[in-house]
């Protein structure tokens, strides 16, 4: 009997020895790339019921632009509640959220729209671009209106979920607000560590700042400008066109950290003389940057 058990033991050991080289030689499972993320920044121009640019005329054009572009995530500026509600009613795969610049829903929002089939909203909040950023409706630095940022942490849906921070903002617009824009840019950057907690970041917005401005240099010094870093660029670099279709300045941006811009475009879709807004939206296809950076 003892001899029989020894024989079984020798056979078992032999089987292990035969199998072990096969296991060791097997190739490791490949690390599959994350599904690209499609983001957009869009100053939608607040709704009006008068004139050629009235919301009733622009709404179907804007809906069609968004349907064609199919972004996963949109940071809007100047959005009124009825516009946000109209858009998600026409595009039921989207939801939107955010308070307006006075803390309610009667004024302009930095509303964030996202596709519920592509993204899960993990947490969100907002802050004001002032010396007291946690005080609702606060303003500083001589601006004529409260300015704010709306933010959220999202998780991608699918087999390889990834989390990231998205921030949407609209900086002061007047020529004399240059210092206010630069202070607002510094404030946003100072909030990133606590909000992102090491996650990749997309900062979307109408910065009202051209690339030669101090505010742009502040942001571009800490984050990557999606337009200048993208592998493929389509459309004009300039974005504000005042409903003419001929833009004269670049003030709408997607700044990135922890992402690569595989492609970026200024979307000029319109119907005849009807443009969805006085800004062209900027949309980008992003991939998560897997390269460790200092």
SS3 229: helix
- Report the Cα 7 to chain-centroid distance in Å: 66
Report the SS3 class of residue 241.
Answer: coil
Give 190's contacts (C-beta < 8 A, 6+ positions apart): none
Give the residue from 245, 223, 88 showing the smallest Cα distance to 169. Answer: 223
What is the tens place of the pLDDT at every residue in 267-287? 999 999 999 999 999 999 999
Q: How confident is the model at residue 34 (pLDDT cuts 50, 70, 90)?
A: low
Phi, psi dihedral angles at 113 (to 5 degrees): -105, 140
Q: pLDDT digits over 149-176, tens only? A: 999 999 999 989 999 999 999 999 999 9
User: Is 41 strand, coil or helix?
Assistant: strand
Average pLDDT over every residue of 69-81: 98
Task: Say if residues 227 and 263 touch (Cβ distance below 8 Å).
Answer: no
Give the C-alpha separation, 169 to 148, whole Å: 6
CATH architecture of 37-288: 4-Layer Sandwich (3.60)
48 vs 212: CA distance, rounded Å: 33
**pLDDT tens digits, 213-250:** 999 999 999 999 999 999 999 999 999 999 999 999 99
Comparison of pLDDT for 159 and 83, the residue scoring more:
83
Average confidence (pLDDT) over 35-59:
96
Q: Where does residue 123 fall: left (phi above 0), alpha (psi -120 to 50 degrees), or beta otherwise?
A: beta
Write out the two tokens for 264: 């970026």
Residue 275 C-alpha from the chain's centroid:
23
Contact 203, 227 (CB under 8 A): no
Residue 226: other Cβ atoms inside 10 A? 27
Provide the residue ranges of all domains of the chain, joining segments of one domain with +: 37-288
Q: What is the pLDDT of residues 135-144, one digit of tens each?
A: 999 999 999 9
Whole-model pTM above 0.85?
yes
Q: Locate all alpha helices (DSSP H) within 133-243, ordered by sequence.
A: 178-196, 214-222, 226-229
Over the chain, what is the mean pLDDT? 90
Over 80: is that where the pLDDT of 2 sits?
A: no
Cα 22 from Cα 28, distance rounded (Å) = 12
Confidence of residue 27 (pLDDT cuts 50, 70, 90): very low
Q: What digits encode the pLDDT tens for the residues 183-223?
A: 999 999 999 999 999 999 999 999 999 999 999 999 999 99
**Which tokens in the block code for residue 91?**
């595009």
Please check the confidence at residue 112 and state whether its pLDDT lies above 60.
yes
Per-residue pLDDT band for 35 (boundaries 50, 70, 90) equals confident
Strands (E) in 102-178, as ranges, are: 112-115, 119-128, 148-156, 163-170
pLDDT value, residue 291: 60
The length of the chain in residues reads: 294
What whole-number distance in Å separates Cα of residue 83 and Cα of residue 80? 5
């Amino acid at each position: 009997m003892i001899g029989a058990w020894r024989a079984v033991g020798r056979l078992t050991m032999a089987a292990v020895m035969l199998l072990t080289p096969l296991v060791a030689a097997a190739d490791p499972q490949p690390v599959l790339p994350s599904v690209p993320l499609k983001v957009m920044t869009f100053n939608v121009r607040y709704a009006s019921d008068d004139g050629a640019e009235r919301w009733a005329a622009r709404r179907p054009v804007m809906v069609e632009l968004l349907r064609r572009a199919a972004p996963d995530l949109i940071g809007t500026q100047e959005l009124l509640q009825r516009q946000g509600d109209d858009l998600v009613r026409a595009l039921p795969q989207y939801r939107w959220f955010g308070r307006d610049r006075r803390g309610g829903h009667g004024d302009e929002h930095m509303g964030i729209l996202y596709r519920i089939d592509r993204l899960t909203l993990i947490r969100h909040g907002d802050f004001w671009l002032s010396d007291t950023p946690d005080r609702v409706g606060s303003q500083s630095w001589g601006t004529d209106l409260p300015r704010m940022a709306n933010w959220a942490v999202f998780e991608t849906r699918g087999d390889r979920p990834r989390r990231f921070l998205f921030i949407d903002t609209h900086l002061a617009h007047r020529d004399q607000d240059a210092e206010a824009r630069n202070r607002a840019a510094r404030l946003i950057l100072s909030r990133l560590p606590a909000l992102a907690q090491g996650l990749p970041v997309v900062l979307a917005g109408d910065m009202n700042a051209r690339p030669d401005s101090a505010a742009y240099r502040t942001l571009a010094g800490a984050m990557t400008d999606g337009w200048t870093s993208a592998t493929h660029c389509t459309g004009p670099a300039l974005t504000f066109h005042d409903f003419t279709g001929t833009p004269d300045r670049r003030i709408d941006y997607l700044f990135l950290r922890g992402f690569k811009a595989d492609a970026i475009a200024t979307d000029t879709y319109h119907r005849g003389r009807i443009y969805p807004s006085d800004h062209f939206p900027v949309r980008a296809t992003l991939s998560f940057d897997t390269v460790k950076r200092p």
